[in-house]
């Protein structure tokens, strides 16, 4: 059967520096998204700002390479933590003036060569933990892992969390990962100040097809079409927007159509909005309940008829990394 064609593209920033974004095909994006004059200079400033963390860090080592080892060692690990049940008082709103999203940045430098891989991320609302838990996508860490720059003993690298005001918090460890679902949990070295209502509640149940959603997108240049609603974020280096749409379907790992409320594996969730580069790892929110129902992965060609769709991991996969009431601990891959 036709379907589930993965579309990937990465945009080089310069000969020395490559940023690997959460992604969609430039052949599809370019007619809609074009840089304003001076956009390339703004991107270079962002790279310089992110790479400066390597120079100011007290630990000048290949830290990201060590985190990659934790990523593999803790694959499928269930944490002894409970996700908080969503309630109406904790529902998220999509206020355009409030940025509840972090950037999770993997940066490496070796002489004149450098690489920056970044994605979106958000804080989960959990019980039983002594440190903040940030959820993001896994594929940007894998991208920098497969880059030869991490293999050199002379490389300096680090992974950190960037807040909207530009402050940076180094990642201390990776407590769990689910590579098959493109999910990664990271813990910063210190507590992050609360943003919005503090953390994101995750829905206990996958959303039905037709559910109205809002997905958090970011860009490093202003779109020419649908330009309204984009607001500056992360010290003005990027723009952000809650983009509305709806859930349009699910598929299992074999590419077959799947339905929530059955025994089907909801491996792939599709929605109508097309994510912009950098949006992977960001939340998909049920507008009615205000809770997380998915984590953005990028975009996929569902089939030749319907074309490109927004692509996400369903909320039920998030629960595989956490303790469930009345169920014994288990380790999954």
State residue 32's pLDDT score.
29
Tell me the pairing of strands 113-123 and 17-21. parallel
Question: Alpha-carbon distance 137 to 250, whole Å?
Answer: 19
State residue 333's pLDDT score.
52
Taking the alpha carbons of 119, 132, 160, 151 in that order, is the dihedral positive or negative?
A: negative
User: How would DSSP label each residue in 305-320?
Assistant: TTEEEEEEEEHHHHGG
Could you give the angle at the alpha carbon of 275 between the alpha carbons of 101 and 297, nearest 5°? 75
With contact defined as beta carbons under 8 Å apart, do 310 and 215 qualify? yes
In terms of Cα–Cα distance, which of 239, 238, 219, 221 is closest to 230? 239
State residue 74's pLDDT score.
97
pLDDT digits (tens, 9 = 90+) for 158-176: 999 999 888 889 999 999 9
State residue 215's pLDDT score.
96
Fold of 11-23+36-188: Thrombin, subunit H (2.40.10)
State residue 88's pLDDT score.
55
Q: Which residues in the chain show pLDDT less than 50?
A: 1-19, 22-43, 89, 196-197
User: How would DSSP label each residue in 152-169?
Assistant: STT-EEEEEEE-TTS-EE
State residue 53's pLDDT score.
81
State residue 332's pLDDT score.
53
Read off the pTM. 0.83
194 C-beta neighbours (distance < 10 Å), count: 11
| Domain boundaries of the chain, sorted by first residue | 11-23+36-188
- Coil/strand/helix, residue 216: strand
State residue 250's pLDDT score.
96
């Amino acid at each position: 059967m036709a379907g589930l064609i993965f579309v990937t593209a990465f945009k080089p920033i310069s000969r020395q520096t490559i940023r690997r974004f959460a992604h969609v095909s430039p052949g599809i994006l370019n007619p809609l998204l074009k840089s304003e004059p001076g956009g390339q200079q703004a991107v270079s400033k962002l790279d310089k700002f992110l790479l400066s963390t390597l120079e100011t860090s007290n630990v000048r080592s290949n830290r990201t390479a060590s985190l990659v080892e934790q990523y593999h060692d803790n694959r499928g690990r269930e944490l002894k933590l409970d996700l908080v049940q969503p309630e109406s008082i904790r529902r998220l709103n999509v206020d355009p003036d409030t940025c509840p999203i972090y950037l999770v940045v993997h940066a490496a430098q070796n002489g004149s060569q450098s690489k920056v891989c970044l994605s979106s991320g958000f804080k989960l609302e959990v019980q039983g933990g002594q440190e903040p838990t940030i959820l993001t996508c896994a594929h940007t860490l894998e991208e920098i892992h497969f880059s030869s720059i991490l293999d050199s003993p002379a490389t300096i690298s680090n992974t950190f969390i960037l807040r909207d005001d530009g402050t940076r918090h180094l990642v201390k460890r990776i407590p769990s990962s689910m590579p098959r679902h493109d999910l990664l949990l990271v813990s910063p070295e210190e507590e992050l100040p609360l943003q919005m209502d503090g953390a994101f509640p995750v829905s206990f149940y996958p959303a039905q097809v037709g559910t109205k959603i809002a997905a958090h997108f970011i860009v490093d240049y202003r779109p020419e079409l649908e330009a309204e609603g984009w607001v500056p974020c992360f010290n003005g280096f990027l723009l952000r927007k809650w983009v509305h749409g709806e859930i349009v379907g699910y598929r299992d790992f074999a590419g077959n159509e799947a339905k929530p409320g059955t025994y089907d594996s909801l491996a792939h969730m599709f929605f109508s909005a097309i994510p912009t580069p950098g949006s992977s790892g960001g939340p998909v929110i049920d507008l009615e309940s205000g809770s997380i129902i998915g984590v953005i992965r990028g975009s996929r060609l569902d089939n030749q008829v319907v074309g490109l769709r927004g692509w996400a991991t369903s909320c039920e996969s998030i629960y595989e990394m956490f303790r469930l009431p009345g169920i014994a601990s288990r380790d999954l891959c």
